[in-house]
Amino acid sequence: MNNRTTTAASERVAPIGAMGGPSLRLPLTLIAAAIVFVAGAVAPSHFAGDFVLRVANEGLLLGMLALSVAFLMNQAGLVALGAASIYGGAGLLFAIAMSEWNLTPLAALCAAFLIIVVYATVLGALIVRTNPLAFMMLTLAAGEMISHAVMLEALRDYTGGADGLAVSFKGSIFGMEAADFANPARFWLVMWVAASLAGLALWSVGRSRLGAILRAVRENEERMRFSGFDTYLPRLIAYVLVNIVAAVAGLLHVLNAGFVSPESLGISVSTNALVAALMGGIAGSVGPILGGLIFSFAQDEFGARGLTQLLTGIAIVVFIVVFPRGVVGGLSGMAWLRTLSGRRERS
């Protein structure tokens, strides 16, 4: 400690969130992302048929849900098993608002969104204080509670019970009519934009100061408190943010399907999202969305063979063994790709 340097340390360090790296890396990444975005928006509707686009749309919906699950896992170290209650809940509320409250489509959409976000905020306020295991179990309990409440006979007039609710609306939402949402090619464009924006938003949050605080809290909550940080509020904000993404996905789902079933609130949707996130990789925004697409196409293929559950189980095991950090994590770890992208291991 005697041999102190006199050079100002801050002159040689990158700001938090930038995480170093060659100065050209970010612009190149943004250019590549822009090209992928434009190509992804235009190409599929020209080259793929309606059936493939339908499966792809389901994949992007699941990818958005997986994105919300992955962000919370990666940034806050919290595993949520109740994502479907927000996803399906938003759709169900929209259907109820349309059929029971006689709202315009846009008003119903806003009402459903606001109610589900308030619910997520209240639930988050109660559960984000707990340890990760308790958090996981509480999200599961809350999700199951909602999915069973929907099936109650007393609420059947509102929720449709096991039959679910059909949604039809006249007029348009943001210039799109019901037929446009049902059209696979047009809906693909909507989904592609929505998934990209959700990915970009969560990626930005991850690189922001909030992201840095979340990761530090995940790693050493006690030290964060001893550094003067409130560790509760950042986690609550993260929980609400990911549920906003899940709610948007749920609303898009019901607009596309024109129907909301009680299954969309169930544990299987939540676990599918978790599996999709793990398959794609939880470290960024691309992985979960890619995982959603892979999962969706795989389910379709397995379903055609009549062995959906068996083959899905085998595929999950193989994927997680071969790509423990997900497809994107596995690919980014390959030496030739690292060289191509100019990434270097810091000493």
Partner 1 sequence: MLKVENLSVSYGSVRALSDVDLEVLGDGILHGVIGPNGAGKSTLLDAVCGRRRPIAGTVRYRNEDITRRSVAWRRRQGMARSFQRTSIFQDLTVHEQLHLVAQHLGDDRLDDVIEVMDLTGYLHQKAGRIAYGVQRRVDVALALIGRPHLLLLDEPGAGLSAAETLHLFEHLRDLVRERKIAAVVVEHDVDAVFACCGKVTVLDLGRHLATGSPHEIRADHRVVAAYLGTAA
| Chain residues that interact with partner 1, rule: CB under 8 A | 1, 3-10, 12-16, 19-20, 209, 212-213, 215-216, 219-220, 222-223, 225-231, 346-347
Closest among 209, 279, 283, 203 to 241, alpha carbons compared: 203
Of 6 and 102, nearer to partner 1 (C-beta) is: 6
SS3 of residue 176 by DSSP: strand
Q: Where is 177: in which H helix or E strand?
A: strand 176-177
Of 158 and 229, nearer to partner 1 (C-beta) is: 229
Answer for the pair 116, 89: CB distance below 8 angstroms, yes or no.
yes
Of 5 and 102, nearer to partner 1 (C-beta) is: 5
Q: How far is the CB of 23 from partner 1 (least distance, A)?
A: 15
Q: How far is the CB of 233 from partner 1 (least distance, A)?
A: 11
Of 47 and 226, nearer to partner 1 (C-beta) is: 226
Q: How far is the CB of 164 from partner 1 (least distance, A)?
A: 44
Q: How far is the CB of 150 from partner 1 (least distance, A)?
A: 40
Q: How far is the CB of 228 from partner 1 (least distance, A)?
A: 4
Of 102 and 347, nearer to partner 1 (C-beta) is: 347
Residue 16, CA distances (Å) to 13, 75, 207, 211, 324 in order: 9, 15, 9, 10, 28
Of 2 and 102, nearer to partner 1 (C-beta) is: 2
Closest among 173, 38, 107, 48 to 182, alpha carbons compared: 173
Tokens of 126: 């109660």
Q: How far is the CB of 221 from partner 1 (least distance, A)?
A: 10
Torsion of CA 186, 190, 193, 196, to 10 degrees: -110
Q: How far is the CB of 10 from partner 1 (least distance, A)?
A: 5
Closest among 81, 72, 45, 127 to 242, alpha carbons compared: 72
The conformation of residue 169, written as its DSSP 8-state character, comes to -
Of 8 and 322, nearer to partner 1 (C-beta) is: 8
Print burial letters for 280-295: b (CB count within 10 Å at least 16), e (below 16).
bbbbbbbbbbbbbbbb
Contacts with 346 (C-beta within 8 Å, 6 or more apart), sequence order: 20
Q: How far is the CB of 245 from partner 1 (least distance, A)?
A: 25
Of 10 and 102, nearer to partner 1 (C-beta) is: 10
Closest among 321, 316, 326, 287 to 64, alpha carbons compared: 287
